[in-house]
A and B are shown apart, each in its own frame.
Chain A
Amino acid sequence: MARRDDVLGVAGAETVIGAGVVVEGDLHGDGDMIIDGTFTGDIKTTGDVTIGVNGTIKANIEAANVTVGGSLDGHITASGEASIGESGRVRGNVTSAGLAIAPGGIFVGSSRLRQAARLDLGDEEA
């Protein structure tokens, strides 16, 4: 039966894994991914990854931006932002350009913020 708290807004996401679906293996792609089921393996994309409230993930995630609304046991490497929602639980390390944790969100691990690239004008400025 479809759940009322299923992830909305699937339009535009290349990959959508619904609640009740169990996936095992390597999920690699170029587009956005929304995962609301159970996943074990490795996730890598140049797009964004959203873990829905029903999502139970045991994986390392490498993506542009990562949003966690469910449960993640694994490391996040994001070129952009990582965020943990009010129902999100992350156990692992996060390397990202920014990290946001909503009230109620749980994070157990370490966070490393990437420094923004500095413009090196060097001798040209003189």
Chain B
Amino acid sequence: MYYYIVNPAAGRGQIKNLQEKLRDRLSELGIRGEWAKTTGPGEAAKMATAAEAKGHTTIVAVGGDDTVNEVINGLTGEATAVGIIPLGSANHLARQLGITSWQQACEVLAARRLTDYGLIAAGQKFFLSTLTLGFETDLDKTVDTEARGLGARVNQLRQGWGHARTFQTLRCRIQVDETYNLECDLFSLSITNQKFQNALAENKLIVSLSDRPGQRQLGSYLWQLMRRGESPLSEEPSTRFLADKVLIETEPVTGIMVDGKVAGRTPIAIRLTQRQVRFITEKVAGDLLEAVGPRERGRSEAKERPE
């Protein structure tokens, strides 16, 4: 039985105009289910816990990244499938799962293709997608990155440029898997789950960091960040490595952001947990294995096999 947790404030209240169309479409697909609306921050997590306890096997977050993260943090078991209908402002998580519109999300929910993703713990909170710190975290405090329109974009770029030129790099020390330590002057850092970039890969933290880009690179960096709302670090890091656990210290202390929201400060321990969340996604590892052929399938299956 599908259980829909709706954040009426997400995406500046988009659900108000879409609710009827959404319910009709889900009915047509035979997955209408039960609906509940949140009334404030933290509610989605409590609703997810209660729905799971009642025996709902599929919980759908109708909203943005905040709503999805709250639902994830509310689940206690691993058998419940989580779906997304993206109606937030950013929808990073939905995009990474291959879901770009509410209409497509309905089809994806009906197709019910499942992929397990490992949860990442940052301090006491769990998250699925991306943690950032450094320039991008600081940028969000000074520039309104949510405003849309050409004028707003130009203004964002201008403010971002001014901010980047005065931004002081952080002295950063990272302990990686208790096997090695890394020190650098940090401009920006991001941590994500490798499996989000490649469904065939195992769950593993990818840590990407960069020192201060050159003037020409800075413009391109800012443009990508403003346009996509995502860290361009995944494509052009100066340093990148895989890990299960990292402990990050910075001088001075700085804030960290998880999926676009401030979520703590350094020093912070980030680790890939044993907990998995079952997501209803557009593409699953099985489909990709079929596409690449038996050799890659064998290699991927060998990786998954326990030693």
Contact = CB atoms under 8 A, between A and B. Distances in A.
Interface of A: 1-2, 6, 10, 13-29, 31, 37, 41
B238 A15 contact: no
Contacts of B121: none
Interface stretch (B58-66, B99-107, B210-218, B273-281): B210-218
Nearest to A17: B239
Contact of B183 (A16, A18, A21): A21
A24 B181 contact: yes
Contacts of A31: 242
8 contacts: A1-B211, A1-B214, A2-B213, A10-B240, A13-B240, A15-B242, A16-B237, A37-B184
Contacts of A24: 180-181
Q: Is the interface of B mostly helix, strand, loop or mixed?
A: strand
Contacts, number: 67
Give the interface size bracket for B toward A. Answer: 20 to 34
A6 B212 CA distance: 13
Contacts of A22: 182-184
B181 A18 contact: no
Contacts of A14: 241-242
Nearest to B194: A14
Interface in B216-243: 217, 237-242
A17 B217 contact: no
Interface of B: 176, 179-185, 210-214, 217, 237-242
B238 A2 contact: yes
A1 B212 contact: yes
Contact of A15 (B210, B213, B241): B241
Contacts of A27: 179-180
Given A17-B239, A18-B184, 17 more contacts: A1-B212, A1-B214, A2-B212, A14-B241, A16-B239, A17-B241, A20-B185, A20-B238, A21-B183, A21-B184, A21-B238, A22-B182, A23-B182, A26-B179, A27-B180, A29-B242, A37-B239
A18 B180 contact: no
Contacts of B240: 10, 13, 15-16
A94 B86 CA distance: 56
A23 B180 contact: yes
Nearest to A20: B211
Contacts of B180: 23-27, 41
A25 B179 contact: yes
A23 B238 CA distance: 14
Contact of B182 (A6, A13, A21): A21
